[in-house]
Structure formats: structure tokens, C-alpha cells
């Protein structure tokens, strides 16, 4: 019985030694060939392009919703406000005040009226819409969507080529994604932005957002400026004419006495109101056209401008990644130019002869 027990113990000890010996054997490192790494780089480049296309569709859809809301708010709030009788009276008073302090120059009057109308457009249209959907938020969401989509592709690429995780991570760490140094913290690699949780805490990401927003002074910046400028010029000229008419009526009223003067003042105010109502449809059409043309042009800029549009952050990061990968990809030689065709009607034959 004791002998059998000793044999069992001996077998267990020997098996344990064999297991320890096998476990201690070094594992041969997986070697990825340079050709495979180049193929991985090509796939990362393609993944960046594909992710960018997905984000383009998202941003266009979001910006179209924003545009519809701005159009609606312009139609229901700003245009009725601007063309109303009392607003025109208030603007007349402001133009008169501006004119008194302008030294007789026209441009300062129009410029100050333009600034005031731009403020009103932001307050009545752009700011309320931004509380629901904001181009600045769309821009940040576009970056997040791009990184999430690209990261999913990176996982697939790593699994497809069975690249060791540490080697794959080092490869990603060698690909710049944001390069805004100094300081060095404003730089980030593809690995860093793909694995940051959340990416908004990354100093390089914050620097990129600051750069884009400094190039675009706010949600919808510039959308109303061109349209409002033309509106302000027309309004300034019209209101100055109304001021001159009211001044003449006031002088007549003062000359004829209190009762008759009061009647003349009331009649003048009534005529001004009727004139405003009769001109209102034309004014609305012109205002709608001016604002619409300027808005459409600026909206297209927000969609396509790579420096300060809603895709600016995505364009920057993808440009850094794709530009870096392009340096590592093999150069494909250009095809040799085709031989020049025979001159005239000569047809080549075998042996170098030609048929005339």
C-alpha cells in the first residue's frame, strides 16, 4: 500500500516538472513582414476614407435640419418683425439718431444699422435655433463619429492580419493624428485619439476644437451678414427719406397752429402707416431674397469649408492620418508612355518595312 502511494506521488512530481519545463520555454515572437505592414497601412487609409464618407452623410443630414429651422424662424419671426409698422418707426428713430452723430456721412449710418439688424437676427433666429441644433455641436459630434467608426475598422484590421496587439498599437502610435504643438501635449497619435476615454479630455483634441472655432466665430457666423448688409443699406435709404418727409410735415404743423397741426400730424402718421402696409409685400419679398441668397451661400461654406466648416475637425485629423500613411506606402511607377503612331499613312510591317 505504501509502495503504491509512493509511486503515485513520484508520477505527480515528474508530471509537474515536465509542465514547468514546457511553460518556461520561450515563445517565438510573431514577425510581421514589411509587405504586410504596408498592406495594413493601405487598409487604415481606406478605413479613414470610408469613415469620412459616413460622417459626411451625417453632417449633411444634420445641417439640412438646421437650415430648415433657420428658414422657418426667419419666415415666422424676423421678416414679420422687420416689416411691421412699429419696427419701421423704431428703425427710423435709430437712423435719425445715427445720422445726428455721423457728421452727415452715409456709411456710418448704414454700418450701425447693419450691426443692429445682425444682432436682432441672431437674437430672433440663430440663437433660438442653436438651442435645438447647433453647427458647433454638429462639428464636435462629427469628430466623435469619425473616431468611433475608424476605431471599429482598426479592430477588424488587427484581427484580419492577426497582428500582435502590442505591435499593432505601436504602429498606430507612429501615425500622427493631431499636430498642433507647441506644447507637445497638443500633439496626439492615432492610437491616442482612438483609445482616449473620452477624447474630449485630450489636450490635443481641445486645441483642435479651439482652432476650428476661432476660425468660425460661432453658430451660423456669417450667415446673415451679407444679406443683412444689403437689407440695411436699402432700409437706411428708405428711412432717411421718411425722416425728411416727417420733418417737412412737422414744420407745416408747427406753422399752422396747435389744432390744425395735430390734424396734420395724425394724417401724416396715417399716410406713413398706409404706405408701410402697401410697401410691405415688396419689402418682404426683397428681404426674403437677400437673406435666402446669403444664407444658402454661407450654408454651403459651412458644409464644404475645410478650415472652419462642420467637417473641419474631421478633415484635419483624416488629412494628418492619410498624409502620414502616404509616406509609408510604396510608390507605384507610372505606366510607360505609348509609342508614337507612325507618321502619315504608313502602316508598320514585319521586318521594319512600311506600307505606303
DSSP character string of 288-305: HHHHHHHHHHHHHHHHH-
Give a yes or no: residue 169 inside a domain: yes
Show Cβ contacts of residue 302 under 8 Å, excluding neighbours closer than 6 positions: 63, 135, 216, 220, 309, 310
DSSP structure string for 106-168? HHHHHHHHHHHHHHHHIIIIIHHHHTT--HHHHHHHHHHHHHHHHHHHHHHHHHHHT--HHHH
Is residue 333 domain-resident?
Answer: no
User: How far is residue 272's CA from residue 146's CA, in Å, rounded to a whole number?
Assistant: 57
Q: For 307, which DSSP code? A: T
Q: Is residue 19 part of a domain?
A: no
pLDDT tens, the chain, 356 aa long: 565 655 555 555 555 555 544 545 566 677 889 999 999 999 999 999 999 999 999 999 999 999 999 999 999 999 999 888 888 888 888 877 877 776 666 567 777 877 888 888 889 998 999 999 999 899 999 999 999 999 999 999 999 999 999 999 999 999 999 999 999 999 999 999 999 989 999 999 999 999 988 876 554 554 545 556 666 666 666 666 555 444 433 433 344 344 333 332 333 344 344 445 667 788 788 788 878 887 888 888 888 888 888 999 999 999 999 999 998 766 656 666 665 555 555 444 444 444 44
Whether 2 is in a domain gets the answer: no
CA end-to-end distance (rounded Å), the chain: 112
Q: Which domain holds residue 219?
A: 34-233+280-327
223 lies in some domain: yes
**Is 106 contained in some domain?**
yes
Position 341 in a domain:
no
| Distances from the Cα of 26 to the Cα of 30, 146, 168, angstroms | 12, 40, 21
Is residue 69 included in any domain, yes or no? yes
Say how many CA atoms lie within 13 Å of 348 toward its Cβ.
8
> What's the number of domains the chain is made of?
1
Q: Is 228 exposed, middle or buried (0-12, 13-18, 19+ CB in 10 A)?
A: buried
Is the peptide bond prior to 352 cis by the omega test (within 30 degrees of 0)? no
φ/ψ (deg, to 5) at 63: -70, -30
CA-based nearest residue to 295, from 68, 130, 62? 68
Amino acid at each position: 500500500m505504501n509502495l503504491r502511494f509512493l509511486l503515485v506521488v513520484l508520477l505527480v512530481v515528474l508530471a509537474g516538472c515536465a509542465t514547468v519545463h514546457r511553460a518556461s520555454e520561450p515563445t517565438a515572437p510573431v514577425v510581421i513582414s514589411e509587405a504586410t505592414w504596408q498592406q495594413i497601412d493601405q487598409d487604415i487609409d481606406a478605413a479613414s476614407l470610408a469613415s469620412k464618407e459616413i460622417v459626411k452623410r451625417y453632417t449633411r443630414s444634420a445641417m439640412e435640419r438646421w437650415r430648415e429651422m433657420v428658414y422657418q424662424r426667419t419666415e415666422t419671426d424676423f421678416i414679420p418683425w422687420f416689416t411691421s409698422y412699429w419696427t419701421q418707426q423704431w428703425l427710423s428713430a435709430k437712423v435719425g439718431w445715427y445720422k445726428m452723430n455721423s457728421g452727415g456721412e452715409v456709411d456710418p449710418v448704414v454700418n450701425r444699422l447693419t450691426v443692429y439688424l445682425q444682432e436682432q437676427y441672431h437674437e430672433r433666429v440663430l440663437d433660438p435655433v442653436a438651442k435645438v441644433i447647433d453647427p458647433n455641436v454638429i462639428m464636435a459630434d462629427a469628430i466623435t463619429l469619425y473616431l468611433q467608426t475608424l476605431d471599429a475598422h482598426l479592430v477588424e484590421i488587427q484581427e484580419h492580419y492577426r497582428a500582435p496587439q502590442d505591435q499593432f498599437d505601436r504602429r498606430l502610435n507612429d501615425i500622427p493624428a493631431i499636430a498642433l504643438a507647441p506644447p507637445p501635449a497638443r500633439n496626439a497619435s492615432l492610437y491616442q485619439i482612438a483609445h482616449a476615454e473620452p477624447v474630449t479630455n485630450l489636450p490635443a483634441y481641445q486645441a483642435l476644437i479651439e482652432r476650428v472655432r476661432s476660425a468660425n466665430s460661432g453658430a451660423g457666423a456669417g450667415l446673415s451678414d451679407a444679406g443683412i448688409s444689403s437689407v440695411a443699406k436699402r432700409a437706411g435709404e428708405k428711412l432717411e427719406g421718411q425722416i425728411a418727409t416727417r420733418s417737412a410735415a412737422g414744420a407745416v404743423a408747427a406753422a399752422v397752429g396747435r389744432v390744425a397741426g395735430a390734424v396734420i400730424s395724425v394724417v401724416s402718421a396715417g399716410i406713413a402707416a398706409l404706405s408701410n402696409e402697401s410697401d410691405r409685400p415688396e419689402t418682404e419679398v426683397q428681404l426674403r431674397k437677400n437673406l435666402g441668397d446669403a444664407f444658402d451661400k454661407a450654408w454651403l461654406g459651412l458644409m464644404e469649408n475645410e478650415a472652419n466648416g462642420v467637417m473641419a475637425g474631421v478633415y484635419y485629423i483624416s488629412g494628418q492620418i492619410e498624409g502620414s500613411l502616404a509616406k509609408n506606402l510604396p510608390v507605384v511607377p507610372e505606366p510607360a508612355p505609348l509609342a508614337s503612331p507612325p507618321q502619315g499613312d504608313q502602316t508598320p510591317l514585319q521586318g521594319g518595312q512600311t506600307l505606303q
